[in-house]
Amino acid sequence: MPRYRVTLEYDGGPFHGWQRQDNGPSVQAALEEAVLKLSAERVTATGAGRTDSGVHARGQVAHFDMVKEFPPDTVRDALNAHLRPAPIAVVDAALAAPDFHARFSAIARHYEFRILTRRAPPTLDRGFVWHVGRTLDSNAMQEAARMLLGTTTSPPFAPPNARRNRR
């Protein structure tokens, strides 16, 4: 059974995030529906990570298995055709090793946060920047950001008392 690795970019504006939701559209559901239209197979797409509602991605990696094997270029082009008009594009598709896992095989994740600091609201970048209508202290922000740098293999940070409060 071939495993496909796809790289996606998407405008998260119309989606309730990556993960399939009962309460609205998701990127995962749109991708799985496109695979169904291509292959007549119901698949589960696994992403390298999950984005929240309204969050965009430029290099989200996902994988899924299909019974039938197609050339990767056919998978890319057919998925893009079936994803229209949703703001999702499969920018790359490849056959992956059977043990490849989009989440657990990832060796890095990169995040970009854009802040527009001016009085006038954004027009061309609306939905892609956080608009703050005043000047920010960039030195203080840089100093605070240094605390976020590094690598980890542990779960995301949780407040020290978070575990005690669970029942």
The one catalytic residue in 11, 22, 52, 92 is 52
Closest listed residue to residue 37, CA positions, set 7, 1, 66, 3: 66
* Residue 73 known to be catalytic: no
Q: Residues 31, 42: contact at Cβ < 8 Å?
A: no
Closest listed residue to residue 28, CA positions, set 102, 94, 104: 102
Q: In the structure encoding, which two tokens stand for residue 66, read together?
A: 């299909």
91 CB contacts (<8 Å, ≥6 apart)? 7, 8, 9, 59, 76
Write out the catalytic residue numbers. Answer: 52
